[in-house]
């Protein structure tokens, strides 16, 4: 199964900001226990790459890199074992570098122009950021009308109650957010909280897919 197909199956992409890579293995296990088998490890901290590498070694867990802004970061993410990479915006050079290393790229977009450029370059799965501020599910409906072959990953301003409204839309392949993985909870080793929040998110996902 391809990485994007696996992300679609999982349906939820936790956005991880981590300060201690030694917490990454237990974090991945906590997410798996809650029914979420992937995460985006952002490169916003110096620990990002090491945490990504540790999570990628957890059996059954799909580890991705987030906030990939440069060609050098693209290579580092690939070397660390990233199955996919996400960026907040669309830079053809960075997206091409990620793909060139054999890693699935999910570039960020915010406007129809960016969607069209990314799709023209071969990226049919894109992250919409910041989805909440841009208009939420209604904004994605507007984007989906002309871009019928593009699937969206809303991120930024996504709250627990948004899981259902987003995932009930056929043009949304997954949702992305950080509420399951609070930075402080990771630092404190509160993995029970992370599993509990993940389980609630997974239940919302399953309900949305069941049409309830």
Nearest to 25 by CA among 6, 16, 160, 11: 16
CB count in 10 Å sphere of residue 151: 18
CA distance 55 to 72: 20
Nearest to 204 by CA among 168, 169, 164: 164
Residue 203 known to be catalytic:
no
Q: Which of 6, 114, 127, 149 is an active site residue?
A: 127
CA distance 209 to 148: 20
Q: Which of 40, 114, 149, 203 is an active site residue?
A: 40
> Facing residues of 86 across strands?
106
CA distance 191 to 139: 34
Residue 40 known to be catalytic:
yes
Nearest to 175 by CA among 193, 161, 196: 161
The catalytic residue positions are 40, 127
């Amino acid at each position: 199964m391809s990485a994007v197909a696996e992300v679609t199956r999982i349906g939820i992409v936790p956005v991880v900001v981590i300060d201690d890579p030694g917490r990454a293995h237990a974090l991945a296990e906590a997410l798996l226990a809650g029914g979420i088998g992937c995460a985006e490890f952002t490169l916003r901290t110096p620990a990002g790459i090491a945490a990504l590498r540790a999570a990628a070694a957890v059996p059954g867990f799909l580890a991705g890199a987030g906030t990939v802004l440069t060609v050098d970061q693209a290579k580092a993410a690939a070397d660390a074992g990233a199955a996919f990479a996400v960026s907040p915006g669309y830079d053809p050079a960075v997206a091409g570098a990620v793909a060139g290393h054999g890693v699935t790229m999910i570039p960020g977009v915010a406007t129809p122009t960016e969607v069209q450029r990314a799709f023209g370059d071969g990226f049919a799965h894109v992250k919409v950021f910041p989805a909440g501020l841009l208009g939420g599910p209604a904004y994605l409906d507007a984007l989906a009308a002309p871009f019928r072959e593009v699937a969206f990953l809303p991120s930024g301003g996504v709250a627990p109650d948004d899981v259902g409204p987003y995932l009930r839309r056929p043009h949304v392949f997954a949702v992305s957010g950080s509420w399951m993985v609070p930075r402080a909870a990771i630092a404190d080793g509160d993995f029970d909280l992370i599993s509990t929040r993940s389980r609630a998110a997974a239940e919302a996902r399953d309900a949305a897919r069941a049409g309830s």
